[in-house]
Chains A and B, each alone.
Chain A
């Protein structure tokens, strides 16, 4: 089973700042099949990024994904008030289970 480790656990930033979230896999991901999701309280998650760096439909271009192999990142170039939320990475495309990371909370400083 591939284990995903997200860091930091919590990121305290101000609106307008840049956020960089990390997701590290315990083994190299097939075809860099890594997704990022945003979740707000009481809501289902929303897909932001798939295949490490492709933005999902309707996602603002301030969200970008990067990385390959075992090290991946989600960058939010300038935080908007609505971006303060939980973020999860998920690996897929290899043998199940399609594991999630434990999450990073982006909170207002």
Chain B
């Protein structure tokens, strides 16, 4: 059974940093392209970014609003995906989902990030 379990969410002040983790199991993580999707309270889904498998280059792409502030990385030895978020803004407040790449079959339960003073 595929499982994606996010952790690391919480309350952070504007300008602060947070790192989210996603522990993956039930599939060959090292072969998978992985993504982060977020959803602000009461709003729609927003694609944050994705990282390719190392075999496919291991590079990451981002949506414009987070480029230069967020970094997606992976540790295939730990079957773990990361989202490093710096220079956080109020508009980054959202539930962050770890997912496989589109079309998304598998979603984590989400972790809430609140950016507020």
Interface residues of A (CB under 8 A from B): 1, 33, 35, 37, 39, 44-45, 47, 50-51, 56-57, 86, 88, 90, 92-93, 96-103
Q: Verify B110–A92 contact, CB threshold 8 A.
A: no
Give the shortest distance, in Å, between A29 (CB) and chain B (any CB).
12
State A86–B105 Cα separation when bound (angstroms).
Answer: 17
Q: Verify A35–B104 contact, CB threshold 8 A.
A: yes
Scan residues 57-101 of chain B and give those whose CB is less than 8 A from a CB of chain A. 61-64, 97, 101
Q: Verify B103–A92 contact, CB threshold 8 A.
A: yes
Give the shortest distance, in Å, between A60 (CB) and chain B (any CB).
17
A-B contact pairs, 5 of them (CB 8 A): A35-B102, A39-B45, A51-B103, A93-B102, A97-B47
When the two chains form the complex, which single residue of B44, B47, B61, B107 contacts A102, counting CB atoms closer than 8 Å? B44
> Quick one: given A35-B104, A97-B64, are A45 and B110 in contact (CB under 8 Å)?
no
State A90–B103 Cα separation when bound (angstroms).
Answer: 8
Q: Verify B44–A37 contact, CB threshold 8 A.
A: no
Q: Verify A37–B104 contact, CB threshold 8 A.
A: yes
Q: Verify B64–A1 contact, CB threshold 8 A.
A: yes
Closest residue to A51 on the B side, CB-wise? B103
Give the shortest distance, in Å, between B10 (CB) and chain A (any CB).
19
